[in-house]
Structure 1
Amino acid sequence: MDATERIQAASQFLLQSPPGEINDVLNDIRNIISDDELLQEGIQPALREYNIEQFTVVDVPETNHLSIISEAARLGPVSEEDDAQERFLDPRSKLSFEFDHLSLEASDPQPYEPNEEHEPFRLALETAALNYLKAHFTDGVIVVLSPKEGSTQYVIQVVANKYNPTNFWSGRWRSEYTVDLESKQVAGKMLINVHYYEQGNVQLATTNVISFDLPPHVLSAIPNNTAASKILALIEEEERKYQVSLNETYQEMGEKTFKGLRRALPLTRQKLDWDKVLGYKLGAELAGTNKSTLPTS
């Protein structure tokens, strides 16, 4: 396998990294490649793709909050001929910034002027979203973005990470919703990734796609805070139903699926009396001892 093929394989490993474990994967790959310069150059596209897809959080300079790296927050196209660093938007602070996908650091914050027409409702959605985040996510980050040019879709993004390497598990919740005032709909998805690796390696990756119409009484209240709060309440109900369905699925798996993976009875078709197991073993040992001490003719 040549260097190019090794880099391609390494990139695939990175893209499949469990939540919070990409540095561990990167260190393992580094030992395999044994060429830091080649590795750093070759995996940049994979790191960029991973950070954008996984809603990597970033500490934006000159602010006291975290923001999200995502496609919706990216400003402008990126071409191979353009050497300029890619920029992302933090709408909460009205700043754009450069982001290094390897060091995960933001730099060069610059003021960003939001669209005056869209900003009032974006602010209303942001206020309602921050209240929702505080009520339901311990360590979550939320971003609300205005429609891009030519669009009517406000974007709400949530990410919450929980890393517990001491107990061998990690998890990530991601959700993204588009509030489209033209189609009068909300469409979105919830993505959950969990990795449990104590004496094994088990991963859960699940996605739930939703959409619902905005009721007339909500549309008539836009751009007021009341409309924004009602939209977040509708999103909350969709997430609640999804979590209930997950709990029901896990309960059914424990009661039916996993039990079906093991034999209900041994080959004798009789239940084993575990209280007598020691007696069985002791009897066999005594029988073996008696045989070995019998006199031979």
Structure 2
Amino acid sequence: MDQAERIDAVSSFLLQSPPGEINDVLNDVRNIIADDALLQEGILPSLREYNIAQFTTVDVPETNHQSIISEAARIVAEESEERFLDPRSKTTFVFDHLTLEASKPEPYELDTPHEEARVSLEKAALTYLASHFLDGTVSVFAPSELQEAFTLQIVANKYNPTNFWSGRWRSEYLVNLSDKRVKGKILLNVHYYEQGNVQLETTHNISFNIPAAAASAAPATAASKIIALIEDEESRYQVSLNETYREMGERTFKGLRRALPLTRQKIDWDKVTGYKLGAELSSSKGVFGSS
């Protein structure tokens, strides 16, 4: 396998990294390349793809909050340097996909006639985030000047390597006040790896209408009603997940194995060695015991 094939293999591993474990994966595959300079150069495109898809969060320079790295946040600048937008502070910055750090902040004027509505939606989303997510980040973008439409993104991470699990919640919604419609999805990834390796990766699509009265209300009122509808959808999904896991534990997993061995008696695992010794003695007696 040549170096190009090795880089492709490493990149594939990185794109499948569980939440919060990409550095662990990177350290594990360094020996495959054995050339850190070549490795960094070769995997940068995959790291960029991973960070954008996974809604990687970053501390925004000169602020006390984080922003989301995503396709909605990407600014197509005239120069070759790719920049990302934090709409909350109206700042753009350069993001290092290897070190996960932001630099070179610059002010950015959000030239859109719907900025008041965007800010109202952002404030309502931050209130929702504080109530339901222990460690989360939210960003609200206004990608369209022609329509009163906004992209709302939420990400929350929970890493617990001491207990061998990690998880990431991502949700993204296109809130279109012009069409009175919200379309979005929830993406959930959980990794549990104590004496094994189990991953859950699921996507749940959401779509609902915005009541006409809410869509035409004052920006703050409309934003509160829309976030309340999103909260209802996400709460229902959370409840459905809990019910699914309970059913899996009580029915599905039990159906994959025998409740009892063929003897219909539970095995006392502390006596397994004794069982084996007894079987060997019985076997020996059968062969040599008679005279």
Q: What letter matches 1:272 in structure 2?
A: Q
1:284 is displaced (CA, Å) by 4.7
- Does 2:257 correspond to 1:230? no
List alignment gaps of at least 5 residues for structure 2. none
Which residue matches 2:160?
164
2:13 aligned partner: 13
CA gap of 1:291–1:244, structure 2 versus 1, over 3 A, is: same
Do residues 205 (structure 1) and 198 (structure 2) align? no
Aligned to 1:68: 68
* 2:49 equivalent in structure 1: 49
C-alpha RMSD over aligned residues: 2.6
Alignment length (residue pairs): 288
Residues 1:168 and 1:290: Cα distance change in structure 2 (over 3 Å)? closer
Matched with 1:242 is 237
Post-superposition Cα deviations, 1:20-52, rounded to whole Å, max 9, x if no partner, equal: 000011111212101112111111110000000
Amino acid at match of 2:46: A
Work out whether residues 48 and 101 of structure 1, in 8 Å CA contact, stay in contact via their aligned partners in 2.
Answer: yes
- 1: CA distance between counterparts of 2:101 and 2:138? 18
User: How do residues 122-271 of structure 1 correspond to structure 2 at under 5 angstroms?
Assistant: 122-150=118-146, 152-223=148-219, 225-267=220-262, 271=264
- C-alpha distance in structure 1 between counterparts of 2:165 and 2:41, whole Å: 31
Contact 1:118 1:147 in 2 (8 A): no
Identity of aligned residues (%): 65
> Aligned pair in 2 of structure 1 residues 133, 295: CA closer, same or farther (>3 Å)?
closer
Q: Which amino acid aligns with 1:182?
A: S
For 1:84 and 1:290, how far apart are their aligned partners in 2?
81
Whole-angstrom CA distance in 2 between matches of 1:286 and 1:200: 33
Question: In 2 relative to 1, CA 136–285 (structure 1 residues): closer, same or farther, beyond 3 Å?
Answer: same
Tell me which residue corresponds to 2:99: 103
For the pair 1:121 / 2:117, whether they are aligned, the reply is yes
Does structure 1 retain, via aligned residues, the 8 Å contact 2:138–2:153? yes
If the length of structure 1 is used for normalisation, what is the TM-score?
0.89
How far residue 250 of structure 1 moved from its aligned partner, in angstroms, is 0.8
Matched, 1:272 2:268: no
CA distance in structure 2 between the aligned counterparts of 1:271 and 1:42, rounded to whole angstroms: 57
- Give 1:234's aligned amino acid: L
SS at match of 2:253: helix
State the SS of the aligned residue for 1:203.
Answer: strand
Give distance in 2, aligned partners of 1:102 and 1:251: 39
